[in-house]
Structure 1
Amino acid sequence: MNTENDVPAKRDMIAGLEKGLQVIEAFDQERGRLSIAEVAERTGLTRAAARRYLITLTHLGYMRHENKLFSLTPMVLRLGQSYLHSARLPRLAQPLLYRLAYSVGEAASVGVLDHDQLVCVAAVSAGQLVSATLQPGTRVPAWCTANGRMLLASLPLDQLDAFLARVVPEQITEHTIVGKERLALEIARARSQGYALVDQELELGLRTMAVPLKNFRGEVVAAMNISVHAARMPLDQMVERCLPALIKMQVELNALL
């Protein structure tokens, strides 16, 4: 997470680029097509400014325009691919994820913390379609996922306290932990035992177990998990069967980071 010391001076910022990216980010799974007025409302821009950004992005190929509604084009994927192709973490993690996933016959993924969300940067299904969230580029709440909870457990206590103060957990499933005291206890449990186990808090039927990944300086930079369908594996069996495989790959990947 950024600190105040990381914030650049205003004179060094290109406001147009920042606002253009905000326009792209205004589109999501629930809002795939937006009008100029809706983009303006979601970004805080005036309608005139939102129109100019949308027209520019359409000209550049990042948007399409039909019946007064705008939507993203596949060209936007180039932005994410640039990260996946250039960043060390996905390139190093992917082959080890293959080994991990196929060794246990379950899906595996690596994620990083981006503000209060978990972003998947590498994933292998091993033939098991467990969840649509287990693919590179997907974003989910950090507090109700094993990778996210493990990364929250690695934060300095002041940053964790700030997170718990601002987060508003919602009841996604009947198993979702929404009480902040209970959530803090689960994060503390993950920190003390070295792994996080989340049972159907993000999706019914989805159980995940995660361990932290550290670089050569001992800093936690990501988390790696195994995901199973609840009908295939009970919690105690998941710890017994999957944790040793996770730890083995954790040690190997830590040596590369």
Structure 2
Amino acid sequence: MPSRQAPSSAEASDTQHLQSERLESLANGLALLRVFAEGTPSLTVQEAAQRLGMTRAAARRLLITLQLEGYLRCEGNLYYVTPRVMDLGFAYYASMSLPQLAHATLQSLGDQVSEACSLGVWDSGHVVIVARHEPARVLRVNVDIGRRLPAFAHSMGRVLLANQPVAAQRAHLKAWPPEAFTKETVTAKEKLLQIFQQVGQQGWCILAGELAEGFCGISVPIQGSTGKVLAALSITMVQGRRTVQDLEADYLPKLQAAAQQLEALVHGRERFHGFNF
């Protein structure tokens, strides 16, 4: 095993310079919050002093400071962490875009179902893939990030259309007249409006063989904290012998659970400022 290289003299000098700028009180405050994060439910002044290797007086000032800032509460001689510490974690998510937030969710979902998973958003009458995870396999669903797909003929597009007013749905079908991609593609406008209504009522969409023969997909919406639909989450696969009933029974619960996880992250992101892609 190769030995680890020693830091260069320049790196050592930079580290020493940074150490001279270190704010000890802030470092101690973060260390104390990490103690709670490791599973410690409460601390006394003496316990905090012992865990951090400082005097009781210094530990007491630290605990009182965090109490005054709202991160701790005191009951008798015990200090407990408050829900406000979650702001520190959510601040991390506040700097992330929707595709970044979705990365881990897509990967986890893909590992569960062993199928391609995508996140799509509405853009000028199309559904655009903004994040995707696809397991390694010989036969792949060739859809890249940034791909624009006809909304009326894709399960994510129908989910996004279903959450628009009927007038907007009609306007969409007028601006982008449906065309047949396969013999299964629904192109009748009134029939499509009925499908959009059904998708909106049930909260999910299954589409088989309408955009490409032999492929099917199932999608659910991703909602913001106000209920506005921000995106759609989907699983896409080779249809094989799967029926619509198989997709609903086998994939829908996992897809809905993944959507709830992503929505929890989105809602945390929205607590800080409006969501931006």
Normalising by structure 1, report the TM-score. Answer: 0.64
**CA apart distance, 1:143:** 0.5
**1:123 aligned onto 2:132:** yes
| Alpha-carbon shift at residue 148 of structure 1 (Å) | 0.5
Show the 5 A alignment for 1:33-48.
Answer: none
Unaligned runs of 5+ in 1: 1-85
- The aligned counterpart of 2:208 is 199
1:162 to partner: Cα distance: 1.7
Q: 227-236 vs 176-185, which deviates more?
A: 227-236
TM-aligned CA deviation for residue 232 of structure 1: 5.0
1:168 to 164, 167, 177: 177
Aligned 8 A contact 1:97 1:123 in 2: yes
CA distance, structure 1, for counterparts of residue 128 and residue 110 of structure 2: 19
Q: Which residue of 2 aligns with 1:98?
A: 107
Structure 2: distance between partners of 1:254 and 1:106:
21
| Deviations 1:128-156, CA, capped at 9 Å, x for gaps | 544212x2111110110000000001113
Amino acid at match of 2:152: W
* C-alpha separation in 1, matches of 2:146 and 2:164: 22
1:198-246 alpha-carbon deviations (Å, 9 max, x no partner): 1111111110000000112221000000011111522211110000000
Match of 1:140 in 2: 149
The CA deviation string for residues 93-140 of structure 1, in whole angstroms up to 9 with x for no partner, is 11100001110111110000101111000011122544212x211111
In structure 2, C-alpha distance between the alignment counterparts of 1:141 and 1:254, rounded to whole Å: 25
SS of alignment partner, residue 127 of structure 1: coil
Question: Separation in 2 of the partners of 1:189 and 1:167?
Answer: 21
Q: Distance in 2 between matches of 1:165 and 1:137?
A: 24
Q: 1:87 and 1:170 mapped to 2: Cα distance?
A: 37
Secondary structure at 2:194 match in 1: helix
> 2:251 aligns to what SS in structure 1?
helix
User: Which blocks of at least 5 consecutive residues in structure 2 are unaligned?
Assistant: 1-94, 267-277
Asked if the contact 2:125/2:172 (under 8 Å) is kept, the reply is yes
1:3-43 superposed Cα distances (whole Å, 9 cap, x missing partner): xxxxxxxxxxxxxxxxxxxxxxxxxxxxxxxxxxxxxxxxx
Q: What percentage of residue pairs aligned between the two structures are identical?
A: 33
SS at match of 1:173: coil
Count of matched residue pairs: 171
Q: In structure 1, the residue corresponding to 2:179 is in which secondary structure? A: coil
Residue aligned with 1:222, SS:
strand
How big is the alpha-carbon RMSD for the aligned residues of Structure 1 and Structure 2? Answer: 1.5
Cα separation, 2, equivalents of 1:175 and 1:190: 18
Report the residue type matching 1:132 in the other structure: N
> In the aligned structure 1, how far is the partner of 2:210 from the partner of 2:102?
25
Q: Does 1:249 align with 2:258?
A: yes
1:57-114 per-residue CA deviation (whole Å, 9 max, x = no partner) reads xxxxxxxxxxxxxxxxxxxxxxxxxxxxx86110001110000111011111000010
Q: Are the equivalent residues in 1 in contact too, given 2:122–2:231 (CA < 8 A)?
A: yes
**Residue 151 of structure 1 contacts residue 222 of structure 1 at CA under 8 Å; is this kept in 2?**
yes
Q: Secondary structure at the match of 1:207?
A: strand
The answer to whether the Cα contact below 8 Å between 2:141 and 2:237 also exists between their aligned partners in 1 is no
**2-structure distance, mates of 1:147, 1:170:** 17
In structure 2, C-alpha distance between the alignment counterparts of 1:186 and 1:130, rounded to whole Å = 28
Q: Which amino acid aligns with 2:245?
A: D
Aligned partners of 2:211, 2:246: CA distance in 1, in Å? 20
Higher relative contact order (CA 8 A, sep 6+): 2
**Is 2:236 the partner of 1:227?**
yes
Distance 2:206 2:96 in 1: 28
TM-score by length of 2: 0.59
Confirm or deny: 8 A CA contact 1:111 1:118 kept in the other structure.
yes
| Aligned residues of 1:130 and 1:227 also touching (Cα < 8 A) | no
Amino acid at match of 1:155: Q
> What residue is the counterpart of 1:215 in the other structure?
224
Between Structure 1 and Structure 2, whose CA radius of gyration is higher? Answer: 2
